[in-house]
Amino acid sequence: MAYEEGVPAAEHAGIVAQDLRKQYGERTALDGFTLRVRPGTVCGLLGPNGAGKTTAVRILSTLLRPDGGHAHVAGYDVVRRPRQVRYRIGLVGQHACVDEILTGRQNLQLFGRLGHLTADAARRRAGELLDQFGLADAADRAVAQYSGGMRRRLDLATSLILRPAVLFLDEPTTGLDPAARIDVWSRIRELVGTGTTVLLTTQYLEEADQLADQIAVIDAGRIVAEGTPDELKAKVGPDRVETVTRKPTLDEVFLHLTGKTATRSTETVLEPAR
Amino acid sequence: MTTPTAVPASASWLRDAATLTHRILLHWRQRPFSIALTLLFPVLIVLMFGYLFGGAMAVPDGTYLDYLIPGMLAMTMLFGLESMVLAVTADAAKGVTERIRAMPVSGVAVLTGRGWADLLNALAGLTVMIATGYAVGWRPHDGLPSALAALGLLLWLRFAFTWVGIYLGLLLKTPESAVAVQVLVWPVGFLSSAFVSPGTMPGWMGAIATWNPLSATATAVRELFGNPSWNETTWAAEHSVLLATVWPAVLTAVFLPLAYRRYRLLGR
């Protein structure tokens, strides 16, 4: 392949974060964040607002420099070789990050070109993605006229323009109605089927349960628990009060692990999943 | 599907800059009304000042319109700064800046793309303003080489404003705070020789206006076009071509590195 020098190390495929630290003045956003996501799996990063989810994603996607620690994404060091990482990742943020003035097709072609596809390849890939994401009819309309769900789909499509090995989804269904959310979920499942590594941050516990092979619970800038959804549920043990057989929900797992009770702060966390 | 298909064979920053310039040209095509408004606004000012206030202006060595058009050519360069701040903050607010930063594209390419698009915008602005000048009876009198030198000085000023605009845009972050720049453009414009001679202002105000970078270019352009200068005799007015060369160089030397540094600091 015609990439610049440097061969990715196999042990660094997927996502490997080691002791990441980030400080904003007095506030510690990440405090020894360590996480490993095996290639081709989905990791759900679960935590309340301000736990450090977005900071972690921004560091792993090369947008932010960590104050300490190391991270490799798709085989490359995010601080030393950000350019190599950028050829291999896709990023969907909390808000649709697309150019509203341009059409859907122009957006896809623009980011294809910025990813150094040839003009022809960018055009072909844009067409493919527009079909795949049900945007073919709206392809030549300005994004400003798109609905929230359509923007989200375009956002997701744009992040796939270079066929990324690793995809970061930072609260990808924030602000979507239930139908649009289920649509995004099914698209994420399709992607995983094709071998993409996904790091999904969410405060919707149901979302993590639905999509993730592995869940990491983050609180105050560090991972406090890790495992499959079932392992995490087993850790807490069956519900103690109501019926003996009911397994705890991830909501309860989360509350147990973060040592929080369902008071003000956690209520806002739980609400959207209802 | 896990192998990227991108083949960055000639991933040069020049190509990235051209792609980003193309993006802004597409914006103009998508929103022709918005770019038309930007280009026609200075025309409105010429008509307002030229015909509404012009009758009350006594330019000793010519007509007010002949004095005003070079001033408005300089003002058109200043309006570009305002558009730049709005464009940069809009990109930041919509998350487009972030998405571009997540692409394998260097900061130099991003800034250069902006710069080229702004240069095209400036050329369009100058064309409209010169056409307006011709329509209201303004003419250059000192021949083509001199006129080209005047246009060169105007673009040189805009080149400096490009970096000031990008820097302020990255600094202010939100389109709401960019409104401050839209408001401040006016005192900067009025406290210069763009509309009236600094000699007609109270002493301290005249001193500010005399040394305003905008005045240097406006006065230099009047001299090169052979237009009335309102009998200015200050050192700054008599060396306006020199100042119109030096001022933008100083602004660029300060704000180009600041803009680049600011872009890099987005990752901090």
What ipTM score was computed for the predicted complex, to two decimals? 0.89
Say if CB B180 and CB B172 are below 8 A apart. yes
Residues A174 and A250 in one domain: yes
Are residue A68 and residue A189 in the same domain, yes or no? yes
- Name the domain boundary from A163, A190, A210: A163
Please give the Cα distance from A119 to A112 (Å, whole number). Answer: 8
Test the A interface: residue of B23, B34, B266 with most A CBs within 10 Å = B23
Q: Does A251 touch chain B (CB under 8 A)?
A: no
The verdict on A138 and A258 lying in the same domain is: no
Q: Considering only CB atoms, which chain B residues are within 8 Å of A116?
A: 6-9, 11, 15, 104
- A190 belongs to a structural domain: yes
Task: Flag whether A223 is in a domain.
Answer: yes
Does residue A142 share a domain with residue A76?
Answer: no
Same domain, A143 and A187: no
| Closest CB to A99 among B6, B96, B103 | B96
Based on the fold, state whether residues A107 and A197 are members of the same structural domain. no
A53 in a domain, yes or no?
yes
Taking residue B60's Cβ as centre, other Cβ atoms within 10 Å add up to 9
Say if residue A254's pLDDT is above 80.
no
In a domain, A28, yes or no: yes
The answer on A153 and A176 residing in a single domain is no
Please judge whether B30 and A63 are an interchain contact, meaning their C-beta atoms are less than 8 angstroms apart: no
Residues A71 and A207 both lie in one domain = yes
pLDDT digits 0-9 by tens, A19-68: 999 999 899 999 999 999 999 999 999 988 889 999 999 999 999 999 99
Last residue of a domain, one of A147, A163, A179: A163
Q: Kind of pairing, strands A197-202 and A76-77?
A: unpaired
Residue A94 domain-assigned (yes or no) = no
Q: Which residues of A touch B105 (CB under 8 A)?
A: 114
Residues in chain B within 8 Å Cβ distance of A62: 101-102, 267
Choice between B203 and B152, residue whose per-residue pLDDT is larger: B152
Determine whether the interchain pair A87/B8 forms a contact, defined as Cβ–Cβ distance below 8 Å.
yes
Q: A20 touching B, CB under 8 A?
A: no
User: pLDDT per residue over A224-247, tens digit each?
Assistant: 999 998 888 787 765 544 444 556
pLDDT-derived band at A132, boundaries 50, 70, 90: very high
Residues A199 and A236 in one domain: yes
Question: Of A163, A184, A204, which residue sits at a domain end?
Answer: A163
pLDDT in tens, B204-259: 999 999 999 999 999 999 999 999 999 888 999 999 999 999 999 999 999 999 99
Q: Which domain holds residue A193?
A: 11-88+165-273
Is B29 an interface residue toward A (CB < 8 Å)? Answer: no
pLDDT digits (tens, 9 = 90+) for A83-128: 999 999 999 988 888 999 999 999 999 999 999 999 999 999 999 9
Residue A93 domain flag: no
Q: How many domains is chain A built from?
A: 2
Q: Please list the alpha-helical segments (H only) found in chain B.
A: 13-30, 32-47, 64-93, 96-101, 107-135, 144-172, 175-190, 203-211, 213-225, 235-238, 240-265
Q: Note the pLDDT of residue B11.
A: 67
CATH number, domain with residue A63? 3.40.50.300
Q: Which one is predicted more confidently, A261 or B152?
A: B152
Chain A contact for B31, CB < 8 A?
Answer: yes
Q: Chain A residues with CB inside 8 Å of B5's CB?
A: 117, 121, 125, 162-163
pLDDT digit string, tens, across residues B79-113: 999 999 999 999 999 999 999 999 999 999 999 99
The answer to whether residue A201 sits within a structural domain is yes
Residues A70 and A159 in one domain: no
Same domain membership, residue A196 and residue A68 = yes
For chain B, give the mean pLDDT. 93
Give the C-alpha separation, A15 to A48, whole Å: 22
Alpha helices in chain A (DSSP H): 53-60, 82-86, 104-114, 119-132, 148-159, 178-193, 205-211, 229-236, 250-258, 264-270
